[in-house]
Structure 1
Amino acid sequence: MYKYGHAYWKKGAFRQAYRDKLNVFMGHLNLGERTIRGCLEAYSCKHAGTDKRLSLSLENEMLDYLGKSSDTDSSSPVDLLLSRSSRKALIYLVLTLYQMYPDYDFSAVKAHQFFSEESWDTFTQIFNNYMFEASKEWTARNEDGSLLEAIYEALDEVVKLAECEIYVYNPNPNADPFLEEGAIWSFCFLFYNRKLKRVAGFRFCCISNLASDAFLADTPPYGEDEDIFADMDM
């Protein structure tokens, strides 16, 4: 596989504890009839092993699509495929999904169809709309800024947001890991820094407690069984 290791974070530093605090808060936020679940993760991408075959397959699929497409619309996914560096970025995003959802098969994902490039303003708008209640709860429990500001700082520490390309994963109903878990809505944003060769992911969803009590009882919150943002050799 691509050797995805967790991105470097200084152990014992304040910011690591702050990031851990975020993941604990979002791991299982019960709001009565609904539960918010979210997680911040970061990966460093290095070539190794069998995922090279997947990378080649994705590259060939994108080139084939590019060759057959006659779509001239400027918003077409063709625009994302014109340069090799952009195709490589999309491949990294698919491979990151495999790490974020290790029990889910993304072999049917078409990179050019499932990712759209966004801005921080777009992320902010979506976050404010869907995480409004979670943000209020964060403010009630903490005195160190808003939830959005905390997430910004945590992401910026690892991937330097000013240098990032921001993507959102837009699957169809057959390729959404959250739908089978009783989600009301879900989002997965990926922040890619080409220079650092790091991808940070922020996934968050809302689950109906009435529809998924059994699932939530059997599933630990995000981050409980892994050391997210742990040290690694860069």
Structure 2
Amino acid sequence: MKFLEYTNLDRLNEFMGHLNLGERTIKGCLEAYSCKHTGTDKRLSLSLENEILDYLGKSSDTDSSSPVEFLLSRSSRKALIYLVLTLYQMYPDYDFSTVKAHQFFSEESWDSFKQIFDAYMFEASKEWVERNEEGSLLEALYKALDEVVKLAECEIYVYNPDPDANPFLEKGAIWSFSFFFYNRKQKRVVSFRFCCISNLADEGFLTDTIAQADDEEIFNDMDI
């Protein structure tokens, strides 16, 4: 996998990188990767493939909704491996199990992505309109993604890992989403992570408040 630089993505990242909205901060990041193997990718890809085949060999589950059914397709296994390789590029120190990762990925449509974006990025979109005269934030995002991965040809995945083992989750996060736009023909992936962080938690306000409350309880029990 190779990181790809695009000016249109950089512009959106500059806007969404740290959008302070008072008590909350919106953070968004778009990253594009080529699926062509570089460095250790080939060895890791082979290891992930063997992990899947070993899992398939041991499993007798034939439920059409199970990971097995999805992983029986070579093209689906390839897509999953590219998504996991992208995760490794983003978080090289984190261990992503291919089989478990499948359980956390679900395919989405552009319409479902749009609904989530409109609902959770409403304030960010208002801020974009105030700063820019040419269209909405979603329109700018669509255009940028389309230029990089041709959305009409894309498979869109959302990644929802276990909250206790989520490398994307930041301290003080109110909500967080991770989408991946994968174009098989171009062999290219764009990741889009966006989240909302509580500035009160980020500044240690909640911790200080709890500590203060504890101190008051201690003093209440003391004769002064």
Same fold by TM-score, threshold 0.5 exceeded?
Answer: yes
Q: Is the CA contact 1:106–1:175 (under 8 Å) kept in the aligned structure 2?
A: no
**The residue matched to 1:181 in structure 2 has which SS?**
coil
Q: CA deviation at 1:65?
A: 3.3
User: Structure 2 vs 1, CA of residues 20 and 49 (structure 1 numbering), >3 Å: closer, same or farther?
Assistant: closer
> If each structure's helix is expressed as a fraction of its own residues, which one has the higher value?
2
List per-residue Cα deviations over 1:81-120 (Å, max 9, x = no partner): 1211110111111111122234x40334523212111110
Provide the residue aligned with 1:4 in structure 2.
2
Instruction: Indicate the RMSD between aligned Cα atoms, in angstroms.
Output: 1.9
Q: CA deviation at 1:141?
A: 1.5
Larger radius of gyration: 2
Q: Is the CA contact 1:58–1:91 (under 8 Å) kept in the aligned structure 2?
A: yes
Q: Is the CA contact 1:33–1:210 (under 8 Å) kept in the aligned structure 2?
A: yes
1:75-224 equivalent positions in 2, closer than 5 A: 75-102=65-92, 104-108=93-97, 110-213=100-203
1:13-92 equivalent positions in 2, closer than 5 A: 16=7, 18-67=8-57, 68-72=59-63, 74-92=64-82
Normalised by the length of structure 1, the TM-score is 0.79
| Inter-partner Cα distance in structure 2 for 1:108 and 1:60 | 12
Q: Is the CA contact 1:30–1:36 (under 8 Å) kept in the aligned structure 2?
A: yes
Give, as a single letter, the amino acid of the residue that structure 2 aligns with 1:106.
Answer: D
Q: Structure 1: give runs of 5+ residues left out of the alignment.
A: 10-15, 215-234
User: Structure 2 vs 1, CA of residues 81 and 108 (structure 1 numbering), >3 Å: closer, same or farther?
Assistant: closer
| Inter-partner Cα distance in structure 2 for 1:57 and 1:152 | 35
Give, as a single letter, the amino acid of the residue that structure 1 aligns with 2:138.
Answer: L
List per-residue Cα deviations over 1:164-208 (Å, max 9, x = no partner): 111111110233123343211111110111111100111101111
| Inter-partner Cα distance in structure 2 for 1:38 and 1:204 | 4
**The residue matched to 1:196 in structure 2 has which SS?**
coil
Q: Is the CA contact 1:62–1:111 (under 8 Å) kept in the aligned structure 2?
A: no
Give, as a single letter, the amino acid of the residue that structure 1 aligns with 2:186.
Answer: L
| Inter-partner Cα distance in structure 2 for 1:83 and 1:118 | 19
Percent identity of the aligned residues? 77
Q: CA deviation at 1:23?
A: 1.1
| Inter-partner Cα distance in structure 1 for 2:67 and 2:156 | 15
**The residue matched to 1:136 in structure 2 has which SS?**
helix
Aligned residues: 202
Q: Structure 2: give runs of 5+ residues left out of the alignment.
A: 205-224
Give, as a single letter, the amino acid of the residue that structure 2 aligns with 1:121.
Answer: D
| Inter-partner Cα distance in structure 1 for 2:112 and 2:159 | 13
Q: Which has the higher contact order (CA 8 A, sep 6+)?
A: 1
Normalised by the length of structure 2, the TM-score is 0.82
| Inter-partner Cα distance in structure 2 for 1:148 and 1:205 | 16
Provide the residue aligned with 2:221 in structure 1.
none
**The residue matched to 1:42 in structure 2 has which SS?**
strand
**The residue matched to 2:203 in structure 1 has which SS?**
helix
Q: CA deviation at 1:64?
A: 3.3
Give, as a single letter, the amino acid of the residue that structure 2 aligns with 1:5.
Answer: F
Q: Is the CA contact 2:178–2:194 (under 8 Å) kept in the aligned structure 1?
A: yes
